[in-house]
Amino acid sequence: MSEERFGEFVLVRRHGDGAVGHVAELALDRPKAMNAVSTEMARSVAAACAALGGDKDVRVVVLTSTHERAFCVGADLKERNSFSDAELVRQRPVARGAYTGVLELPVPAIAAVHGFALGGGFELALSCDVIVADRTAVVGLPEVSVGVIPGGGGTQLLPRRVGAARAAELIFSARRVEAEEARELGLVDQLVEAGRDREEALALASRIAANSPVGLRAAKRALRVGYGLDLRAGLEVEDSAWRAVAFSGDRAEGVAAFNEKRRAEWPGE
Active site residues: 75, 120, 123, 143
Distances (CA, A) of 98 to 2, 12, 43, 116: 23, 15, 7, 19
Identify the bridge partners of residue 11 per DSSP, sorted by sequence position.
5, 27
User: How far is Cα 153 from Cα 202, in angstroms, rounded to an integer?
Assistant: 25
Kindly provide the b/e burial profile for residues 227-241, where b requires at least 16 CB atoms within 10 angstroms of the residue's own CB.
eeeeeeebeebbeeb
Backbone angles phi, psi at 152, to 5 degrees: -110, 25
CA distance 261 to 94: 49
Integer Cα distance of 227 and 224 in angstroms: 6
CB atoms within 10 A of CB 243: 11
Helix runs in the chain, H state only: 39-53, 77-81, 85-103, 120-126, 154-162, 164-173, 179-185, 197-209, 213-226, 231-246, 249-260
CB atoms within 10 A of CB 112: 30
How many angstroms separate the Cα of 93 from the Cα of each of 72, 97, 98, 189? 20, 6, 9, 29
